[in-house]
Amino acid sequence: MRVFAIVILGFSLTACASAVRGTTEVVSIQVTPADANVTTDIGKNCTGSCDIKVKRKQEFTVTASKEGYVTQQQFVSTSTSKRGATGMAGNILLGGIIGVGVDAATGATLDHSPNPVILNLVPVGTSAPSPAPTSAPIPQAVPTS
């Protein structure tokens, strides 16, 4: 009986992603230069790097801009996370259809990606740095006679 109680307690701790994970998530936005303007299509804006709190089920686009630099955008999508799936499984086992419905409606099983969002602006008229060579040139044999 004690083992059964421990198993039930374990499942109940993972149940209901809405209660365990919440319906919002903090998305970190890292931008260079440090004083670039950051805007989103969901009305959250800042100057420079910042953290924004968004609903877990809300996808959005981040735009970074600064005069003299090429503007960059990044779409932030949502997908089911391992922790969210665990909470959903707990609902199926213990919470029933109501818990499943609440988690699905609130997006509590979802995480944003990418997180953090990293945008490095480049000055207008310059190209992005070229990648380093992947291998050194092969030395050629030189005849000695």
Neighbours of 110 (CB within 10 A): 24
CATH number for region 9-120: 2.60.40
pLDDT digits (tens, 9 = 90+) for 18-45: 556 788 999 999 999 999 999 999 999 9
Q: pLDDT averaged over the chain?
A: 77
**pLDDT beneath 70, residues of the chain:** 1-20, 81-105, 107, 127-145
* Predicted model pTM: 0.66
Q: Write b or e for each residue in 29-63: b if 16 or more Cβ atoms lie within 10 A of its Cβ, otherwise e.
A: bbbbeeebebebeeebeeeebeebebbbbbbbebb
**Residue boundaries of the structural domains of the chain:** 9-120
